[in-house]
Amino acid sequence: MNLLRLTGEHLLIVVIAVTIAIAAGVPLGTLAHRRRNAGAVALRITDAVQTIPSLAMFGFLIPLPFLGGIGVRPAIVALVLYSLLPIVRSTLVGLQRVDPHVREAATAMGMTGRQLLWQIELPLATPAIVAGIRIAVVTAIGVATIAAAVGGGGLGTLIFRGVAMVDTRLILSGALPAALLALAADAVLTQVERRLARRRGEA
Amino acid sequence: MSDPAVAYRDVTVTAPSGAAILDRITLTIKAGERVAFLGRSGAGKTTALKTINGLVTPSSGIVEVEGTPLAQQDLVTLRRRIGYVMQQPALFPHRTVFDNVATVPRLLGWDEPRIAREAAALMQQLELPLDRFASRFPRMLSGGEQQRVSLARALIVAPRLLLCDEPFSALDPLIRVELQTLLIDATRRTTLIFVTHDVREAMRIAQRIVVFEAGRVVADTTPAELPRHEHPLVRRFVASTT
């Protein structure tokens, strides 16, 4: 049915965008942790991106070659940009929160910087990173409804059609599933976060 | 026993503020010696300890480990040969007791059967029977147990040199004495440098006591001689035990 297809589309855009944002955001957050200056710049940029209203963002993307235009591609690009900040920031915070004594012990035991990062810092930062991913997913599910404005598809299609036709039921048929999707994603990822924290002895 | 285990040659460490934390220390520690660095907090004893495994780099002077200046050694390789225990057990919270203890052996590429063998023997000696403790996480252990795991983690590769930075000061007095005994028994063939502000602990563990004050060595003596030492700070330390 139509609703199912649109929900699937919606989820697919979100999953692709957040996956790309994780792939870029975790390394950026790590860089921000290791090199304060580069990190400050990265954070400043992701912060600034976050302040662009989402409808305007899609507007800005339309004239851009390669990344922009109309359709699914600019929708994903916009969502990646919005998802970046919570992921970069939570990666940075998670790494900064690692007990300095634990870091000192690992160094004194003869771990290289890379071993310290992969064996100690990133595993200990994982619950925080998952928290960032959760915020990114929930935000992206909401922002993705607006992607329909540039032909990105998803549940926003119903909302925009409803607005054009002044049909509240049609608007709700898009808005409610989107809200439920966000709530469900939030619940699932909160569980993952808790479980990770418990396993790592923080809860 | 040709080269000393550790030698400080005119070592100065300066704080970013310009104040000297260590002020031209010269000191030789023979292989197999058990030395306590005694002093009040801020006296420079912890800094002196950390120059040995390169956690602190001297502003001037040379620190040698087994005859080679630190600047000419690969720090990562060196650190894997030197045990280090701090006041905070600083166990890796996401790793089990066994995996904590196995950290350095795995960095050194030991095979797993050997790690299991050595860990079982050592943990038995430290009264942390492997069958009961191996798969526990650090948060499930008491402070004393955590510190024993921290000792095991440092001793598993049988380092020739063990650095201890007030490892027992956060523990209650009974457990402290228990762990001092375990440490003495487990380090019979190890050069031991033990930082403490507790005179009794220093006298119990060490054969030689080096007293630090304001970044300098003000006394270098033995537990037997310490009560007769004339330096005012040493006399105050000794007085505090009675």
Given an 8 Å threshold on Cβ–Cβ distance, is B79 in contact with A99? no
pLDDT digits 0-9 by tens, A149-161: 888 889 999 999 9
CA distances from A170 to A7, A156, A174, A180 (A): 14, 11, 7, 16
Enter the ipTM.
0.92
Answer for the pair A77, A61: CB distance below 8 angstroms, yes or no: yes
- Look at residue A57 in the predicted model and tell me its pLDDT: 84
pLDDT confidence band for A203 (50 / 70 / 90) = very low
Per-residue pLDDT for A185 more than 50? yes
**Domain A2-198 CATH (choose: 2.60.40.1760, 1.10.3720.10, 3.40.50.720, 3.20.20.70):** 1.10.3720.10
A47-85 burial code (b ≥16 CB/10 A, e <16): eeeeeeebeebbeebeeeeeebbeebbbbbbbbbbbbbb
Measured distance CA(B167)–CA(B171) in Å, rounded: 9
Q: Which of B55, B92, B137 sits opposite A108 (nearest CB)?
A: B55
Q: What percent of chain B has pLDDT over 70?
A: 99
Residue A53: per-residue pLDDT? 87
Q: What is the pTM of this model?
A: 0.87
pLDDT digit string, tens, across residues A6-32: 999 999 999 999 999 999 999 999 998
Q: Read off the pLDDT of each residue in A129-140 and give the average, rounded to a whole number.
A: 95
Asked if B153's CB is within 8 angstroms of A109's CB, the reply is yes
Q: Give pLDDT, residue A54.
A: 83
pLDDT tens for residues B51-98?
999 999 999 999 999 999 999 999 999 999 999 999 999 999 999 999
Tell me the C-alpha distance between B208 and B212, whole Å.
Answer: 13
| Spatial distance between the Cα atoms of A197 and B168, rounded to a whole number of angstroms | 29
Listed by start position, the domains of chain B span 6-239
Cβ contact, residue pair B93, A102, below 8 Å: yes
Q: B55: which DSSP letter?
A: S
CB A113 within 8 Å of CB A103:
no
Give yes or no for residue B127 having a pLDDT over 80. Answer: yes
Residue A202 pLDDT exceeds 60: no
Q: How far apart are CA A141 and CA A83, in angstroms?
A: 10
CB contacts < 8 A (A, B): 60
Q: How high is the pLDDT of residue A201?
A: 57
**Which helix or strand (DSSP H or E) is residue B124 part of?**
helix B112-125
CB contact under 8 A, B55 and A123: no
A104–B93 C-beta distance less than 8 A? no
CA-based nearest residue to A13, from A72, A66, A82: A72
Q: Which CATH class is domain B6-239?
A: alpha beta
Smallest CA–CA distance from A203 into chain B, residue: B139
Q: Using the predicted structure, report yes or no on whether residue B108 has a pLDDT greater than 90.
A: yes
Most confident of A45-54, A142-151, A152-161, B193-202: B193-202
What is the pLDDT at residue A191?
93
The pLDDT mean for chain B works out to: 93
> 10 Å Cβ neighbour count for A184?
11
Chain A residue numbers with beta carbons less than 8 Å from the beta carbon of B77 are: 110
pLDDT higher at A44 or B75? B75
Could A102 and B92 be called an inter-chain contact, meaning their C-beta atoms sit closer than 8 Å?
Answer: yes
Count the helices and strands in chain A (H runs, E runs): 9, 0
Domain boundaries defined on chain A: 2-198
For chain A, give the percent of residues with pLDDT over 90.
Answer: 64
Long-range pairs of B219-227 with CB within 8 A, sequence gap ≥ 24: B220/B27, B226/B199
State mean pLDDT over B94-112. 96
> Mutate which of A98, A109, A199 to disrupt the B interface (most B C-beta within 10 Å)?
A109
Rounded Cα–Cα distance for residues B93 and B87 (Å): 16
- Residue A200's pLDDT band (cuts 50, 70, 90): low
Pairing of strands B68-69, B20-29: unpaired
Residue where the block lists tokens 């160094």: A107
Stretch A109-114: mean pLDDT, rounded? 96
